Amino acid sequence: MGTIENSIFSIKKLDDLSYQNTFIHRLDPRIKVITTIVYIIAIVSFSRYQITGLLPFFIYPTFLLYFGNIPAGYLLKKVIIVSPFALFIALFNLFSDTTPFVYLYSFPVTGGMITFVSIMLRFLLTVITTFALIGTMGFMPLCFALTKIGIPSIFAMQLLFLYRYIYVVIEETIRVIRAHHMRSFSKKIKMKTFSYIIGHLLLRTIDRAERIHIAMLSRGFQGKIRINKTLRIRKADILFVLLWIIFFILCRLFDIPVLLGNIFVR
């Protein structure tokens, strides 16, 4: 049980990091969201056989982590937790594309191997950047910024509810399991007992959802996200987004590692 509770506190730490007062945290949320969207579009637009062109894009998440004072080790642990999903998809390419793409010291490097590395690099870049973005602004300002740049408010609201109340569901699950352990004097849960727990948890979830909905309506909720901060775009925000977008475009148009390698070889 302690492991589950520690995991919850670890997830909430990402929100705690958003209350810092660094240069990155003071940037307008809309600017950071727009910059990150352009960044992700540039990454996914690469061909599946391109690897070296993706390497310069590590500069942006590194910049966010360093100047946003976000612990890199903490984010890497979160990336490792969700990495099996991308790894499972990428593994299929090893067997579906076995045509030799290039030979490295007589060793055939297949197209599937290159695609595997490309998928994992895209996964690392997008997930680390997304976590870093949340760590520098918080999830509610992120959803608020999404609505301000044209994303449907109902979509942003669903994201916010999912992120906010997943903690409530987990805490309810912990209470039910703890109650079972205290009454059964055993940490093992039989299948029949497990089905009862799931049903009881469903009833408690529905009851909690109704009470939350009533509480929101009594406080004047109208389906809009509001934050206690006035957004104002400054010169630093405009400079931030322009410089990074120019950098992303250059990295997308030119394979910078290959160009630098040719210069040094010559």
Residue 108 to residue 25: CA distance in whole angstroms: 47
Of 41, 43, 63, which Cα lies nearest the Cα of 54? Answer: 43
Domain ranges of the chain: 1-151+234-258, 152-219
Strand partners, 104: 107
Contact 61, 131 (CB under 8 A): no
Over the chain (266 residues), the average pLDDT of each successive run of 10 is 52 77 89 94 89 92 92 84 82 77 74 85 92 87 84 82 77 75 68 73 81 82 71 88 95 86 76
Contact 97, 110 (CB under 8 A): yes
Name the token pair of 8.
């919850």
Q: How many residues does the chain have?
A: 266
Residue 266 is predicted with a pLDDT of: 65
Contact 129, 36 (CB under 8 A): yes
The residue type of 120 is M
The residue type of 256 is I
- In sign, the C-alpha dihedral spanning 201, 203, 206, 210 is negative
What region does 223 belong to: left with phi over 0, alpha with psi -120 to 50, or beta?
left
Residue 141 is predicted with a pLDDT of: 83
Contact 249, 42 (CB under 8 A): yes
